[in-house]
Amino acid sequence: MRILVTGGAGYIGSHACQRLLRDGYHIVALDNLHRGHREPMEILKGAHPESFEFVHADLGDQSQVLQVLDEHELDTVMHFGALAYVGESVEDPLWYYQNNIAQAIGLLQACDQSRGGKGIERFIFSSSCATYGDPPDDMIPVPEHCPQNPTSPYGYTKLHMEHILKDYANSRAMKNNPIALTMLRYFNVAGSDRTGMLGEDHEPETHLIPVAINAALGKRESMSIFGTDYPTPDGTNIRDYVHVEDLVSAHVLAMNSTKQGEVEAFNVGIGKGYSVREILDAVKRVSGVDFTIHDAPRRAGDAIALYNDPTKIKAKLGWDAKITDIDEVVKDAFDWIKAHPNGYAS
Ligand code: UDP
């Protein structure tokens, strides 16, 4: 397989490129570097000069994407490129819909026209547990058949994309030219590559674990817990934190398991929930620093509790999280951020 990785310069996309390159695949990473970084692309090119290319482009630039797909004879797309902040999506929904949906349709049109009009063979989509919104009590842990009712524009962009992709897959099947479509609904992704080459560097950084690590390292004076009055045991939100290397493994399994004509959705999360306070305790343990935490109001768009029921992905893909100790996840993130106090150089 020869794979286009959109958002390849981002946190998850770059880790996916690294794993796929190690597995021997030919990879073209595409990124507009709006939030992605050039340095990980240079690191990967240095390590895999023959099998890796980076293209600086918008994923919605249909003609350029088509050219890249054809020039490199790509047959598979892993689509990571998207804006991914719940709070930001509430503040600027049109930007999220434009970027995550309108741009993605440009990508899909290029995918459809590639290979002389035959189209790509497989598509792996980064969806999200945010598509579930606040699941009913009897659906936590969350199975894939849980009703999808997002609580944020971000969640809606992912849900709408699932529908668009299913419609596209259906049209391909009707033309006797089936595509393999897998939608992976991520829970919260954390940690970093264990060789220390790649890490998590967002600007702005709003994710809980890196924000807390920045507080522990003195890069910020304090941090806030967004909401301490939720109906959970300690009043804070509960999430499922999956290590980025385990998440990437799910992509490799999905890519190799889903057959032409199949449309599959899998949740990717370890199956255990941690409250915000439990995560902050882990960051304090790992860093050895008792940083300052303030209680703050709820953040718009946040669901109360989300953690995965991994039954389906275990049964169908044989996937299981290998790194389930939250201190190990936090330590990988901590080590990279500590070693890269200013993030990537470019
Ligand atoms: N959170 C927090 N303080 C922060 C950042 C996040 O209390 O500075 C909370 C947030 O409200 C949510 C959880 O941590 O309940 C995880 O948020 P994150 O932004 O990491 O991921 P999300 O669940 O939004 O994808």
Residue nearest to atom 16 of ligand 1 (CA): 208
Residues serving a catalytic function are: 154
The residues that bridge with 186 in the sheet, in sequence order, are: 128, 268
Spatial CB neighbours of 252, under 8 Å, sequence gap ≥ 6: 19, 20, 23
For 310-342, how does the pLDDT look when each residue is reduced to its tens digit (9 = 90+)? 999 999 999 999 999 999 999 999 999 999 999
Greatest CA span in the chain, whole angstroms? 61
Report the topology of domain 2-190+242-268. Rossmann fold (3.40.50)
Give domain 208-239+272-345's CATH number out of 3.50.30.30, 3.40.50.1220, 3.90.25.10, 3.30.1360.30: 3.90.25.10
Taking a C-beta distance cutoff of 8 angstroms, is the pair 191, 208 a contact?
A: no
For 7-49, how does the pLDDT look when each residue is reduced to its tens digit (9 = 90+)? 999 999 999 999 999 999 999 999 999 999 999 999 999 999 9
The ligand 1 atom at the shortest distance from the C-alpha of residue 276 is 14
The H or E element containing residue 27 is: strand 26-31
What is the crossing angle of helices 62-71 and 103-113, to 10°? 40
- Which residue in 122, 94, 30, 105 sits closest to 60, CA to CA? 105
For 47-68, how does the pLDDT look when each residue is reduced to its tens digit (9 = 90+)? 999 999 999 999 999 999 999 9
What DSSP character marks residue 203? S
Q: Which of 214, 274, 299 for mutating ligand 1's site (highest number of atoms within 8 Å of CB)?
A: 299
Ligand 1 centroid to residue 274 C-alpha, Å: 12
The H or E element containing residue 32 is: none
Give the CA distances from residue 254 to residues 131, 167, 243, 314, in Å, rounded to whole numbers and listed in that order.
20, 20, 17, 12
Residue nearest to atom 25 of ligand 1 (CA): 188
Confidence of residue 204 (pLDDT cuts 50, 70, 90): confident
Residue nearest to atom 6 of ligand 1 (CA): 208
Domain coordinates in residue numbering, the chain: 2-190+242-268, 208-239+272-345
Sign of CA dihedral 35, 205, 87, 138: positive
Query: Please, which contacts does 170-176 make with residues 24 or more away whose CB atoms are closer than 8 Å?
Result: 170/263, 172/119, 173/261
- 105 pLDDT higher than 90: yes
Sign of CA dihedral 314, 316, 318, 321: negative
- 98 pLDDT higher than 90: yes
Q: How far apart are CA 127 and CA 173, in angstroms?
A: 22
**pLDDT value, residue 257:** 97
DSSP 3-state assignment of 13? helix
